[in-house]
Amino acid sequence: MPDGKLNDLTIYDAHADAWWSDEVRWVRALKNMVPPRLRHFDRYVAWEGSEVLDLGCAGGFMAEALHDRGARVSAIDPAAEAVAAARAHAEATGRDIAYAVGRGEALPYPDDAFDAVVCVDVLEHVEDWPTVLAEVARVLRPGGWFLFDTINRTAAARFAVVAMAEGVLRLLPRGTHDPALFIRPADISRELEGLGFVLAPLAGLGPVGVTRRGDPVFGRVPSRLVLYMGAARLTPPPD
């Protein structure tokens, strides 16, 4: 992987064979982020029996957590090797998850297919996030929930994510993020409202401690300057 290449998504395939091994620090960090994300999303969705799409599933941490909550899970990601690792782990552990390789800008699902779409650690990597949101609106059923997090477009986020997490602490591989792709809350709110969503209050997400291995533990934090989580409900059409 070329050092310094911005928004380098090859890391997901490059580490696919170690995704479930707990050997790679930044992969462990992604795994540690699943519980606080779900604690926030649990406020909005009753998962049991729901049809749910994990958009940008990588190696399957969120998809398996959603399955374990009783959802019927489909999951998709453009990283083919990561998806293969996710599928293999699900099969080995007896989880029925429908994995696919594909992009958020052109989802291979019919209209009104899902009760919820979960999209974490994704929107700050795609080149055309408004098109991804339009696809989410298309595949969601009226009244369904779009649950997401992303990185704010602030100087604080650039410092925390790029300078510190990638450059100094090496919690992430260098080049994982391109700050030009970070998204302001006002921008995503405006786009979602234009698609017919009603947005719940946003919440901050950040480190709140460390594990015995020195990995960050994540939770809700007061500030949304770096990472923020959101929930938006697709309003039914008028009668």
For residue 3, what pLDDT band results from cuts at 50, 70 and 90?
very low
Beta strands in the chain (DSSP E): 51-55, 72-77, 98-101, 114-119, 140-151, 197-199, 203-210, 216-221, 227-234
Could you give the percent of the chain with pLDDT greater than 90? 78
Average pLDDT over residues 23-41: 93
Place of tokens 């990472």: 227
List C-alpha distances in Å: 53 to 3, 101, 117, 178. 33, 13, 5, 26
Question: How open is the CA angle 176-129-203, to the nearest 5 degrees?
Answer: 80
Tell me what pLDDT residue 236 has: 78
State the first-to-last Cα distance of the chain, in angstroms, to the nearest integer. Answer: 53
Mean pLDDT score of the chain:
93
Nearest residue to 86 via CA among 99, 96, 74: 99
Phi, psi of 117 (to 5 degrees): -125, 125
Taking the CA atoms of 176, 180, 181 and 187 in sequence, report the sign of the dihedral they define.
positive
pLDDT digits (tens, 9 = 90+) for 193-235: 999 999 999 999 999 999 998 888 999 999 999 999 999 999 9
Alpha carbon distance 204, 151 (integer Å): 10
Nearest residue to 124 via CA among 144, 141, 108, 104: 104
For residue 238, what pLDDT band results from cuts at 50, 70 and 90?
low
* 52: three-class secondary structure by DSSP: strand
Q: Among 19-33, 115-129, 220-234, where is mean pLDDT lowest? A: 19-33
